[in-house]
Amino acid sequence: MSAPIRFTKMHGLGNDYVYVNTFEETVGDAAALARAVSDRHFGIGSDGLILIGPSETADVSMRIFNADGSEAQMCGNGIRCVAKYARDHGLTKGDEVRVETRAGVKTIRVVLENGKVVRARVDMGIPRLLRREIPMTGPDEERCIEAPLSVGGQDCSVTCVSMGNPHCVIFVPDVAHVALDRVGPMIEHHPVFPERVNVHFVTVNGRAEVTMRTWERGSGITWACGTGASAVCVAGALTRRTERAIRAHLPGGDLELDWAADEHLYMTGPATEVFSGLWPGV
């Protein structure tokens, strides 16, 4: 029987994960652990599992496993919580935390209150726009901006962006009327996306404000998606619906996005620690 694993539950705008500090804990089958802890009836309850560990190129590393056990490249809400954990728990010092991900090393500037991190600004990097970078089928060097996509016998217009992981953005008059639990998985598993895709429906409220709902690849409907909100910011600017700096309203709260002049996307939002405990060994 394996030893119990100490974990910390954290969330960014309700996008919640179970975090394990692998500087101190040993995790064998991470995919199986992700499925077990994510179960909201028989586990801890989360959108997935994030492992925080050592890195040769950054302050810490992170690995993200979705609720279904699949491994993702990047998580915007998750990385803010990783930076909070690293700073609050003494894994790093200062107001800047560098985190190694499967999408590269990301730099996070943290904001403290009473000695604890409450918010963080993440340099999400330069968005990738070519079909081969997302990835999706079609001409490798072509962008997918308001391209037609047939879903369930109906045509929709999609704009696709990679923020280190794949996103499909669809602008609609009212996100509240979208049957996300039905349409989301159809687009996630659409054959045009060989590695599946995160799906976002967006209503533009003004040049600097949008409302969005998300179906995350491997996790389903989530309260927030940081990489997704970043992709929405890019898609809004590319389609001339919004400015390059916006506020995104998600079910769990708001994120501030800025596609800056240096072409990097900067995302700012809260990070919250909920509780810690021991997951029994198996």
Checking if the pLDDT of 176 tops 60, the result is yes
Q: What is the Cα–Cα distance from 210 to 235, expressed in whole angstroms?
A: 12
What is the DSSP code (8-state) at residue 2? Answer: P
pLDDT tens digits, 43-86 = 999 999 999 999 999 999 999 999 999 999 999 999 999 999 99
**What is the SS3 assignment for 87?**
helix
Residue 34, C-beta contacts closer than 8 angstroms, at least 6 positions apart: 48, 49, 65, 66, 67, 68, 69
141 — phi, psi (to 5°)?
-95, 15
pLDDT digits (tens, 9 = 90+) for 198-248: 999 999 999 999 999 999 999 999 999 999 999 999 999 999 999 999 999
> Hey, what domains does the chain have and what are their CATH numbers?
5-124+269-276 (3.10.310.10), 131-266 (3.10.310.10)
Q: Are 233 and 257 in contact (CB under 8 A)?
A: yes
Q: Please give the average per-residue pLDDT across 241-266, as a whole number.
A: 98
What is the pLDDT, as a whole number, of residue 280? 93
pLDDT for residue 172 is more than 70: yes
Catalytic residues: 75, 225
Radius of gyration of the chain (CA): 18
Confidence at residue 56, expressed as pLDDT on a 0 to 100 scale: 97
Q: How confident is the model at residue 1 (pLDDT cuts 50, 70, 90)?
A: low
What phi and psi, each to the nearest 5 degrees, are found at residue 177? -95, 0
Neighbouring residues of 253: CB distance < 8 A, sequence distance ≥ 6: 13, 14, 224, 269, 270
Q: What would the mean pLDDT of 143-157 be, rounded to a whole number?
A: 94
Q: Report helix, strand or coil for 17.
A: strand
Q: What is the DSSP letter of 4?
A: P
- Cβ–Cβ < 8 Å for 251, 243: no
